[in-house]
Structure formats: C-alpha cells, structure tokens
DNA sequence: GCCAACGTTGGC
DNA sequence: GCCAACGTTGGC
C-alpha cells in the first residue's frame, strides 16, 4: 500500500504511439527514454501509480490515464547503457481530451512542469495538478 | 570545468 | 517548415 502515491505524466507522439495503441495492446514497455530527468522520473515510479498520457505534436492534449504495472528495470532497447523503462497499462480514457491551450489558460496550472519545461518526456505531477486536469476532462476515474 | 556547436523536441 | 528551448558533446 502506498502511503503517498505520486502522479506522473508521459508524452507520446500521436502518430507514433497513441493511447489507443496502449488500450489495444493491454500493456506496454515504456522504452526509449534518453534524458536523465525523464529517466529519474521513471525510476521513481511505483506500481499502481497513475500517469497522465499526453499526445504531443498532433493533438497536444492529455487523452487518458495509464497505470504503472511494473517498476523500472534496465531499458532492453539500450542493453549496454544506463537507461530505464517501466511497464504501463491503460487505466481510463478521458471523456474529453484536455488540450495544451486549455491547460495554459488555467491559473491553477501555471507552474505545471509540462508547460514550463516543454521538452521533458516523463515528469512528476503534483496531486493538485493531476486532479485539476482530470476534472477538466469531465472524467470520473474508476476506483 | 567552461562554453560553443550541434542535435532533438515540440509548439506554432 | 520554422524556430525557440534545451540537453548533449567535444574542444580547449
């Protein structure tokens, strides 16, 4: 049981690996992260924690929530290097995607890391930010 | 250890 | 397609 669950956000290009692909596959190995900040975020994830799924490039919107189903281990796509990957499963698709423009327009999200550090592909989220974005999606999370 | 050059990401 | 931001690399 997690005393203090953390919340996360991952980015994926819409055309490369959309949320629908995760739903179709049931689970995915989140490989290919090659940035130290993003890697450290992966390593801090715990099984069961929730992850906002953001589509970069085309959609520029958070489209759903995934869940960490396995903690970080060495990234199999970089066998001799010090990178990490986790496993994600789909958790809940958003009723309405929450666009970057909508998030930028919310004072409550002014210091959201997604908005401040645009290139980071995996990041921690404050609980309040997570809750705000879920509320904006008009989605009721299961459980 | 500094910093300029370069490559990549991602919004517009 | 362009460009800003920023991370990484490599010369010194």
Does the C-beta of A121 come within 7 A of strand B? yes
Dihedral angle of Cα A81, A56, A67, A123, to the nearest 10 degrees: 60
On strand C, nucleotides with any atom < 7 Å from a protein CB are 5-8
pLDDT for A3 equals 59
pLDDT for A143 equals 77
Of residues 20 to 79 in chain A, which lie within 7 A of strand B by their beta carbon?
56-57, 60
Q: What is the pLDDT along chain A (143 residues), one digit of tens a residue?
A: 555 779 999 999 999 999 999 999 999 999 999 999 899 999 999 999 999 999 999 999 999 999 999 999 999 988 778 899 999 999 999 999 999 999 999 999 988 877 778 889 999 999 999 999 999 999 999 97
Compute the distance between CA of residue A3 and CA of residue A13 in angstroms, rounded to an integer. 33
Cβ atoms A49, A6 nearer than 8 A? yes
Compute the distance between CA of residue A69 and CA of residue A89 in angstroms, rounded to an integer. 6
Using the C1' atom of nucleotide C8, identify the protein residue whose alpha carbon is closest.
A35
Q: Between the CA of A118 and the C1' of C3, what is the distance in angstroms?
A: 14
pLDDT for A2 equals 52
Cβ atoms A63, A19 nearer than 8 A? yes
Cβ atoms A113, A11 nearer than 8 A? no
Does the C-beta of A15 come within 7 A of strand B? no
């Amino acid at each position: 049981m997690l005393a203090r669950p953390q919340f996360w956000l991952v980015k994926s290009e819409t055309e490369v690996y959309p949320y629908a692909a995760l739903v179709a596959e049931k689970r995915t190995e989140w490989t290919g992260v090659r940035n130290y900040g993003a890697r450290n975020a992966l390593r801090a994830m715990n099984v069961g924690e929730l992850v906002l799924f953001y589509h970069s490039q085309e959609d520029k919107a958070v489209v759903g929530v995934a869940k960490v189903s396995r903690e970080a281990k060495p990234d199999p796509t970089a066998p001799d290097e010090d990178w990490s990957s986790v496993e994600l499963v789909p958790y809940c698709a958003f009723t309405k995607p929450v666009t970057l423009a909508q998030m930028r327009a919310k004072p409550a999200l002014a210091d959201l890391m997604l908005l401040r550090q645009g290139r980071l592909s995996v990041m921690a989220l404050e609980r309040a930010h997570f809750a705000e974005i879920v509320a904006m999606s008009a989605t009721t999370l299961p459980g």
